[in-house]
Structure 1
Amino acid sequence: MSRTVYVNGEYLPEEDAKISVFDRGFLMADGVYEVTSVLDGKLIDFAGHAKRLQRSLDELEMAAPCTADELLEIHRQLVRVNEVEDGLIYLQVTRGAADRDFAYPEDAEPSLVLFTQAKPGLADNPVAKKGIKVISIDDIRWGRRDIKTVQLLYPSMAKMAAKKAGVDDAWLVEDGVVTEGTSNNAYIVKDGRIITRQLSNDILHGITRAAVLRFAAEAQMKVEERAFTIAEAQDADEAFITSASSFVMPVVEIDGAALGAGTPGPVATRLRDIYLDEMRKAAV
């Protein structure tokens, strides 16, 4: 049975879903997106994702296709009709269809597409028990990484570089320091301090990041927001990443150097448990 997807006001079988070849998301990567996790049939941190979506739209002077309340109902309807217990909902907004031109069109209607991805046992990913390995590569993306655009070619290239190196992911490095992972925020832990890069245009303002740092503070953990080097990361006691789909995922090796005992550390493990517990309580 095919999935039901949402395209510009209609719920359609995926094989019938279509977007114009003149859509600027296709021609110009002129679009933004969000990914919201679903656990036990409920949405995780939807309000945070909706707020960041609006910020991305505002930064690109792009019209919102609907209200946040309408967007919530679309998410819930897709969860219902696709019977998603655990998984993801991908949302994409583009500036719409118009004749190809570098200047923004004045009369295009924004396009809105959503679809689900079922991932049974998403919160029980066995990889979290053993951790992931990463390599470092140069960060050559554009300068507005705080806008969650659909310009994902370089992160895809970085993921493939990691795959070819026989590891799980890559950390991106610019001016000698780590910016973030390919699709996640990066952290190290040293002497009980959680260290992660401060917010700026250089990194995505992660929704999971915000929640995890809030929970860490509530648990009396020390948090230091600053840049760090790969050498510093290799010397750390532990490391981890956060994202909407991986939650809190331990990192056990960086550029071939094992961290600590080469197994997930206590800070990352505790934060993952806290995050999943608190987010399940607040899910909508």
Structure 2
Amino acid sequence: MLIYLNGQFIKIEDARISPFDHGFLYGIGLFETFRVYDGHPFLLDDHLERLNQGLAELSIQQQYTRKEINNILQELLEKNQLTNAYIRLNVSAGLGEVGLQVEPYLQPNLIIFPKPLPPAGELIEKKAVLLKVKRNSPEGNQRLKSHHYLNNVLAKREIGNQPDVEGIFLNEQGYLAEGIVSNLFWIKENVLYTPTIQTGILNGITRQFVIQLARKNNLQVQEGFYSIEQALKADEMFVTNSIQEIVPITCFDGHSFPGEKGDYLQLLHQDYRQYCKYLWSRNSVRRE
């Protein structure tokens, strides 16, 4: 498997970065994960928008365009003979002295990792469990998709390697937050509920896309501070991320849900299948 590293396509085993990279020393780096469907990088514009905003906040003086990244992706896919793939796009701060730096980073490292995936389409149900580990507060004004991932690692260790289970965080104030690698949604009657980003969650790209899909289908959307008791009254529940897409939840804290049989979930899933092979941004979704 070949990866992309700073202008070169190289074998995984040949990849090298300096131990003085501040992404390694101090966690100053960002990443995006997304899927390629039949050669199309789904919602790439949205991922790059979030990435570029985060780079500016971290004083990493680099911005990436659709054309630049898509050109790299297409060559990377061709060299690896992939049409459907998991992509991780990683930007680390680059070289610096030992010690905290206040000056901007001028030469970040760009690494793009591909991984083969089968064609998407099948809904895969999961159970949700409440985590003992609490969601930590963001280091700044909002949560970045950064190298600082210890909170998620500790949560994953709590539930272990159970592919059919997603752990759900409460934040430090006891409100529902998000999954270990997902955002949380539930539906009651014709209202889609999801925790507000003010709970400290990552504003997931798929989260934003699903909110657009819900509004397109005339669902009301409410973002707020919710207790687990409120969520357990739901008619349907699911979690989302850019690789697993929309994941139906069958049970949470002893309460059962219809999982993949949910009417609204089926509707959102059908829309997802329609858009994933050509959409660059959620902003192109229009209300019916």
Query: What's the TM-score once normalised by structure 2's chain length?
Result: 0.88
Distance 1:261 1:13, change over 3 A: closer
Letter in 2 for 1:239: M
CA contact (8 A) 2:36 2:85 kept: yes
Query: CA RMSD, aligned part only?
Result: 2.3
Are positions 1:276 and 2:273 aligned together? yes
Corresponding residue number in structure 1 for 2:59: 61
Aligned counterparts, 1:130-141, within 5 A: 130-137=125-132, 138-141=134-137
Moved more, 140-149 or 244-253: 140-149
Corresponding residue number in structure 1 for 2:284: none
Corresponding residue number in structure 1 for 2:24: 26
Corresponding residue number in structure 2 for 1:83: 81
Corresponding residue number in structure 1 for 2:147: 150
Describe the SS at the equivalent of 1:280.
coil
Q: CA deviation at 1:38?
A: 0.9
Q: CA deviation at 1:259?
A: 2.6
CA contact (8 A) 1:40 1:85 kept: yes
CA contact (8 A) 2:126 2:165 kept: no
Q: CA deviation at 1:181?
A: 1.2
In the alignment, the residues of structure 2 paired with residue 54 and residue 171 of structure 1 have an alpha-carbon distance, to the nearest angstrom, of: 28
Match of 1:266 among 242, 263, 266: 263
Corresponding residue number in structure 2 for 1:217: 215
In the alignment, the residues of structure 2 paired with residue 236 and residue 149 of structure 1 have an alpha-carbon distance, to the nearest angstrom, of: 32
In the alignment, the residues of structure 2 paired with residue 245 and residue 154 of structure 1 have an alpha-carbon distance, to the nearest angstrom, of: 20
Describe the SS at the equivalent of 1:112.
strand
Q: CA deviation at 1:130?
A: 3.3
Give CA-to-partner distance per residue, 1:120-146, whole Å, 9 cap, x none: 13x234xx2433333333212534453
Letter in 1 for 2:279: A
Give CA-to-partner distance per residue, 1:192-226, whole Å, 9 cap, x none: 21101223472212111111111111111121111
Distance 1:186 1:79, change over 3 A: same
Corresponding residue number in structure 1 for 2:47: 49
In the alignment, the residues of structure 2 paired with residue 65 and residue 52 of structure 1 have an alpha-carbon distance, to the nearest angstrom, of: 11
CA contact (8 A) 2:36 2:83 kept: yes
Number of aligned residue pairs: give it: 278
Q: CA deviation at 1:79?
A: 1.6
Match of 2:175 among 162, 174, 177: 177
Q: CA deviation at 1:160?
A: 2.0
Describe the SS at the equivalent of 2:54.
helix
Give CA-to-partner distance per residue, 1:3-55, whole Å, 9 cap, x none: 11111111111111111111111111110011121111221111111111101
Q: CA deviation at 1:229?
A: 1.2
Describe the SS at the equivalent of 1:12.
strand
Letter in 1 for 2:126: G
In the alignment, the residues of structure 2 paired with residue 260 and residue 106 of structure 1 have an alpha-carbon distance, to the nearest angstrom, of: 49
Identity level (%): 26
CA contact (8 A) 1:34 1:148 kept: yes
Letter in 2 for 1:132: K
In the alignment, the residues of structure 1 paired with residue 50 and residue 243 of structure 2 have an alpha-carbon distance, to the nearest angstrom, of: 16
In the alignment, the residues of structure 1 paired with residue 51 and residue 199 of structure 2 have an alpha-carbon distance, to the nearest angstrom, of: 16
Aligned counterparts, 1:53-132, within 5 A: 53-64=51-62, 66-104=64-102, 109-121=107-119, 123-125=120-122, 128-132=123-127
Distance 1:61 1:269, change over 3 A: same
In the alignment, the residues of structure 2 paired with residue 102 and residue 212 of structure 1 have an alpha-carbon distance, to the nearest angstrom, of: 39
Distance 1:31 1:253, change over 3 A: same
In the alignment, the residues of structure 1 paired with residue 187 and residue 241 of structure 2 have an alpha-carbon distance, to the nearest angstrom, of: 17
Query: What's the TM-score once normalised by structure 1's chain length?
Result: 0.89
Runs of 5+ unmatched residues, structure 2 = 282-288
Distance 1:246 1:272, change over 3 A: same
In the alignment, the residues of structure 2 paired with residue 231 and residue 261 of structure 1 have an alpha-carbon distance, to the nearest angstrom, of: 18
In the alignment, the residues of structure 2 paired with residue 277 and residue 166 of structure 1 have an alpha-carbon distance, to the nearest angstrom, of: 26
Describe the SS at the equivalent of 1:217.
helix
CA contact (8 A) 1:136 1:230 kept: no
CA contact (8 A) 2:249 2:257 kept: no
Match of 1:236 among 216, 234, 241: 234
Moved more, 48-57 or 93-102: 93-102
